[in-house]
Structures are given as C-alpha cells and as structure tokens.
Structure 1
Amino acid sequence: MFAHIGEDYVINSSELLLIMNYDIFMSSEDNLKILEKLKSEDRVVVINDDLKKSILLLEIDGRLYAIVSPVSSTTLAKRFVNFNSYVDNYLDMT
C-alpha cells in the first residue's frame, strides 16, 4: 500500500517503521543523534522547510531513512488505517 505524505511524496507502507510528531521526536537527545547520523549520510528528506509536523522513519533495502513531512502524524496514521479498511472492505465484496 502507498500513502501520500505531503506535496509530491508517496511512500510504501511496507517500508514504514515509525510516524511521530516532529516536535516530540526532536525533544529526545537519542533521536537527535539518529537524525544527525542520517543527515551526515544524506538519508534525510525534508519535504517543506517551513512546515515540519511529523517525521517518518523508513527502512529501504536494509538502510534507515527519515522524511520530515508537513502533514501531521495523526493525519498520516489515519491515511494508512483508512486505506487498509477500504482494501479489506473491497476484498470482502469480491
């Protein structure tokens, strides 16, 4: 399943490890270290520099990546849940 995470970005849910509020994520020293390491390895995408509402961690081909999204973590979580419900209902009808 794929979900829109802001602007022109879509991710595959099978790669998703974490959706978290950006401010809460940034309040942890351990999380800041993780993010700095990912930045040094050029594995962080910031969708919109002016609007940072959530952070997503993904594992792609065994490597960790971070995406900073302008969409709230609550909205993103709902997108994943609603899509799964839609697919389940569709499959039940066939």
Structure 2
Amino acid sequence: MFIHLGGEKIIRASELIAIFDLSIEKSSKISKQFISQANKEKRAEVIGEEECKSLVVTQSKIYYSPISSSTLKKRAHQLLTN
C-alpha cells in the first residue's frame, strides 16, 4: 500500500514511522536537533512549492509535505484498517 504525501511524492505505507504537524519543528529542542541532523545528512526533502504543513518521518527520509498532518493521518489510518 502507498500513501500520497503531496505533489508527485508517494511512499510505501510500510516505510512510515510518524506524521507530525510542522509546529513540532519549533516546539522542542530534541525535534530541532533531529531535523537539523537530517538536513545535514541530506535526508530531508521538501515536496512541491506550496507552504509546508506537516513532517513525515520514514525509515530513510523526512518529508516536508504541503498536506496537513490530520489529512495524512486519515490516509494512513484508512490503509491500515483495510
């Protein structure tokens, strides 16, 4: 099963670790360090040109998605319950 993250980016549902609202990027020191490290290692990717609304953490990358975290969570939940 696959989850559409916005733009032309689709990931395997099995790779998904977490979906966060973008506000988490500024809310804690640990999340800032995690994201900073991913950026240094070039494991962060911005999807599309729209304003980013959520962070999607996978086994290999962090994606900045223009789709809200609640919408992405609904998509993931639908896949997991089917």
1:91 corresponds to which residue? none
Moved >3 Å (runs of 4+): none
- Structure having the higher helix fraction is 1
How many residues matched? 82
2:2 corresponds to which residue? 2
> Identity of aligned pairs, percent?
32
Q: Could you state the TM-score of these two structures normalised by the residue count of structure 2?
A: 0.88
Q: How does 1:1-94 map to 2 (within 5 A)?
A: 1-48=1-48, 50-60=50-60, 65-85=61-81, 88=82
Unaligned runs of 5+ in 2: none
Q: Deviations over 1:40-82 (max 9, x none)?
A: 111000114541110011114xxxx210100001000111222
Greater RCO, 1 or 2 (C-alpha within 8 Å, sep 6+): 2
Q: Could you state the TM-score of these two structures normalised by the residue count of structure 1?
A: 0.78
Unaligned runs of 5+ in 1: 89-94
